[in-house]
Amino acid sequence: MRLEDLGYHTELENYRKDQNLDSFGVGRVISEHKERYIVKTTEKEYDGEIIGNLRFSASKRSDFPAVGDWVAISEYDEDKVLIHAVFPRQTIIERQSVGKQGEKQIIASNIDYAFIVQAVDRDFSINRIERYLTICNTSKVKPIVILNKIDLVSEAELTKMISSLHERVHSAPILAISNESHKGIEELKQIIEKAKTYCLLGSSGVGKSTLLNHLLGKDLMRTAAISESSNRGRHITSHREMHILENGGIIIDNPGMREVGIADSASGLEITFETIVALSKRCKFKDCTHTTETGCVLVAALESGEIDSLSYENYLRMEREKEHFESTVAERRKKDKDFGKMIKNYKKGKKNKKN
């Protein structure tokens, strides 16, 4: 195995040289548990601990290593390394840390692509797909939409779902698969690139674990669960959050990833709702709510059908959640009220126009 097989590339190597980290080894963090890390190198997997210096200079949680990070290490025992430095991260998936207002927690780093998994049964929701797209766009991770459980719907139903999806989602490839009939799984495997890092996003029950097992070709989750229970209280050396697939792709799947929310994804809205945001910037009215105002570019675009109205409502909702997340409590109360009025106005306006 070479470092490149774990996703290492020239930019990281240049950084290592620039920072005079040549005397250290290089590894990638594949698991994190209460400040204990598993670091994978070309030779093996080590238990890693950060050096005191790194701990003292860390001013926030994101200064600590995360799953997916490249780190400079030195071996101090047969299976143990000290972590001296964290390499700059190319992409970061993070979320609001529990209990600490305003502080972010890194879920994983250096991910190239995210599979946004959604089941085509009751779970199917383009709104939710737009949410996950926004998370990806915030994190600079490239999205790939996967519609799963297509064995549960007819060909015609699936075609309808895909075409309605195409109307609102323009920037991401869409794949349809079934873990049950295995339809589309080969095609999915084909698009997975060697040495690129992937993650799985999507609600509970959409089939992420089942898919991962198919990709890995084994019943991974069960194996992990067994070794975890027999290792209770100790560092769980058998628990991996990063997996290398047969074709060389790398998948990160950790518990935190499954709880990432929109509140944490401010900047991505502009990319997900590119047309809407671009238009709203062109609106000539100051303080326009872009909902009912005559002469507003957005209102006009909605009427002409240039913008999908469901997409627009979803955008308003997410924009508001974003602001909610960024504002203080007092501001929030006022904004909630204003927003309530705004949505009401918008819907009233739409109704009136229909009549």
Ligand X SMILES: Nc1nc2c(ncn2[C@@H]2O[C@H](COP(=O)(O)OP(=O)(O)OP(=O)(O)O)[C@@H](O)[C@H]2O)c(=O)[nH]1
Which positions make up the binding site for GTP? 148-151, 202-210
Residue 188 lies near ligand X (rule: CB under 6 A):
no
Which of 41, 139, 179, 311 binds ligand X (CB under 6 A)? It is 179
Please report, as residue ranges, which positions from 282 to 301 form the binding site for Zn ion (by CB under 5 A).
283, 288, 290, 296
- The backbone torsions φ and ψ at residue 49, rounded to the nearest 5 degrees and listed phi first, read -135, 150
- The verdict on 307 binding Zn ion (CB under 5 A) reads no
- Should residue 107 be labelled a site residue for ligand X when binding is judged by CB under 6 A? no
Residue 213 vs 345, nearer CB to ligand X: 213
User: Which is nearest to 199 in space by CA: 66, 33, 35?
Assistant: 66
Candidate ranges 72-80, 147-155, 168-176, 270-278; the one touching ligand X (CB under 6 A) = 147-155
Q: Exposure of 333 by Cβ count < 10 A (0-12 exposed, 13-18 middle, 19+ buried)?
A: exposed
d(CA 312, CA 310): 5
Pair 81, 96: CB distance under 8 Å: no
Residue closer to ligand X (CB basis): 180 or 306: 180
The entry of ligand X, Zn ion, none that residue 41 binds, CB within 5 to 8 Å by partner kind: none
Total number of residues shown for the chain: 355
CB atoms within 10 A of CB 79: 10
Of residues 254 through 283, those in contact with ligand X by CB under 6 A are 258
Q: Does 148 bind ligand X (CB under 6 A)?
A: yes
Can you list the alpha helix ranges (DSSP code H) found in the chain?
10-18, 52-57, 126-139, 155-168, 185-191, 208-216, 220-230, 269-272, 274-282, 297-304, 309-326, 329-354
Least CB distance from residue 205 to ligand X, whole Å? Answer: 4
Which range of residues in 8-16, 201-209, 224-232, 287-295 is near ligand X by CB under 6 A?
A: 201-209
Report how far apart, in Å, the C-alpha atoms of 277 and of each of 133, 146, 307, 350 are.
15, 26, 11, 20
Determine which residue in the list 178, 254, 265, 311 makes contact with ligand X, applying CB under 6 A: 178
* 152 counts as binding ligand X under rule CB under 6 A: yes
Q: Which residues in this chain contact ligand X in the complex, by CB under 6 A?
A: 148-149, 151-152, 178-180, 202, 204-210, 258
